[in-house]
Amino acid sequence: MAPGSVTTPVLDEKTHVIEKPKQQEGEREQWDTKIEFLLSVIGFAVDLGNVWRFPYVCYRNGGGAFLIPYLVMLVFGGFPLFYMELALGQYQRIGYAICIIATFVSWYYNTIISWAVFYFFSSMQSEVPWKHCHNPWNTPNCIDFEQRAEYYRQNITAKNYTTPNEEFFEREVLGLDGDKYNIDNLGPVNWRIALCLVGVFVLVYFAMWKGVKSSGKAVWITATMPYVVLTILLIRGVTLDGALEGIEYFIIPRFDRLGDYSVWVDAAAQIFFSLGPGFGVLLALSSYNKFSNNCFRDALLTSGVNCGTSFLAGFAVFSVLGHMAYTQNTDVSKVAREDVGLIFIVYPEAISNLSISSFWAILFFFMLITLGLDTTFGGLEAIATGILDEWPQLRKRREIFILVLMIYCFLGGLATTTYGGIYLVQLMDTYGAPISILLIVCLEAVAVSWIYGATRFEVDIEAMLGPQHPAYWWFWKICWMVISPIFLLILFILSLYIAPTPRYGEYEYPTWSIVVGWLIVCSSLVLVPAYAVYKFLITPGTVAERIRTIMIPEEAPVHTEEIRVYV
């Protein structure tokens, strides 16, 4: 943990008012307006996963059957943890514990955005370039949409064929050349993707260089534009032939799937990673709030908007999948694919068959860019907040510090822009965060509820919200103390048991790369026991005294206004 201060506030027991402590070296900013904070949190939570992972895991788990466990996990796991982190960040000013994970994510997530940038500019033609097989990058095995549709109608099986949208993504965007490049041979840097990545980091820099004063302005565009585009795409999607079949697949439950534990595990994982507790971002963003800000209302609003966005994206995506199934004369369950193919192969193919396809493609990929940038703002702000709270003197040189951070993340992600970079992206997406974050947030919930104390945490929240604090404390306490830690621990154990492996197409990753992946997992987890051992060794006293000392919060938070404690 990176506490926000080294100054302890003084409590006047008669008036129950905590005196204002001295300000830290280097002034700590706050959000200009409440709406900028809300847009930033919504922008972080609503990301590519809402239009990529949510539709896919819903698709894979039987459509409507997935929505029931999804909502159950929202109520008993996702929302309580989301609320806990907003309150914790606002009160304690915690800023680091997740920097390693956030670094790994920054190394590959921005490359995915750079692919969307490439598609965005490639779409600025009379028709999208992935519609036909008449391009320099196409192979003799390429079969366009019309020919495949004819094969489906005549019940002809075409073997070893590829589609123009697959070849555009793999051969033109990524630069893959058959089996030449893979995790064993990444090849040279693809300069066009690297240039797109430079553009992404330039945008991120100018959105972050002034802190929340600048990023708060950027989210007015990046956090709102996806809703405009999603709404337009949804209206267009539901007017397509076959759209109803896709929507029915999305919303009608197949109750026999509810007995499959994997559906519940996927639902818990999706709601957890969608809302994003544990990545340090909620802690960082809420730490710039005023102390008396109503974080409960914020949690309720933003988590609701996030899940509503997933449903909106689900309707938009499944209407298009239904149209694809209709035109190919096949079932909805046979038109999608795993990995990034849903947003970079399947959906672009559907777009290519719409009238004025370039217009829809530009809209779609602009939406992906804005979704990705919002999440990048939050992830990198978590790193920046942790470091700047630990060394507040750096705030006076924030512009230079952010520039160094951008260069560091760009150099770290450069390997993912190689011709075989997609294999590295899939490796890091599998091991960089999803496994370790489960245990870290479980430990965070245990630390807050059992070590710091749920009752003490309740008093902290009352200090911020006053006597109008949310009712039903028994529900939050049960979730924080029992339900959420248990379900996170179960998910972590299942992740170890299932031992997920990265996949891209039919490629099988070699053993050495799997070992590297698990080392990436351990690199962040090892910091927890390592720091505990370090604190134990440097703390004076007997063994019992050391344990008791290191389990007590070291420093009280600094706030720029009076803290009234209601007793």
Q: Decide: helix, strand or coil at residue 507.
A: strand
Residues 6+ apart with CB under 8 A from 103: 383, 409, 412
Backbone angles phi, psi at 504, to 5 degrees: -145, 115
Strands (E) located in 116-174: none
pTM, whole model, 2 decimals? 0.82
Per-residue pLDDT for the chain (567 aa), expressed as one digit of tens each? 433 333 334 444 443 443 434 444 445 566 667 777 777 777 767 777 777 778 777 877 777 778 888 888 888 888 888 888 888 776 655 544 567 777 888 888 899 999 999 999 999 988 899 988 888 988 888 887 777 666 666 666 656 778 888 889 989 999 887 778 889 889 999 999 999 999 999 998 888 877 666 556 666 776 777 788 888 888 888 888 888 988 888 888 777 777 777 787 777 777 777 777 767 667 767 777 777 777 888 888 888 888 888 888 888 888 888 887 887 777 777 776 656 667 788 778 878 877 888 998 998 898 888 888 878 877 787 788 777 777 878 778 888 988 999 999 999 999 999 999 999 998 988 888 778 878 888 888 888 888 888 888 888 887 777 765 665 678 888 888 998 888 888 888 888 887 778 888 778 899 999 999 999 888 888 878 888 888 888 888 888 888 888 777 655 554 434 444 433
Buried b (16+ CB within 10 A) or exposed e, 487-507: bbbbbbebbeeeeeebebeee
Residues 321 and 353 sit within 8 Å (Cβ to Cβ) = no
Q: What is the DSSP string of 4-46?
A: S-S----EETTTTEEPPPPPPSSPPP--SSHHHHHHHHHHHHS
Residues written for the chain: 567
Strand order in the sheet with 563-564: 11-12, 17-18, 563-564
Q: How many CB atoms lie within 10 A of CB 16?
A: 13
Residue ranges per structural domain of the chain: 11-564
CB under 8 Å to 163, separation ≥6 — which residues?
142, 143, 144, 145, 148, 345, 349
Identify the DSSP state of 564: E
Q: Which residues contact residue 317 at a Cβ distance below 8 angstroms, ignoring those fewer than 6 apart?
A: 51, 55, 237, 342, 347
- Calculated CA dihedral for residues 67, 336, 49, 518, nearest 10 degrees: 110
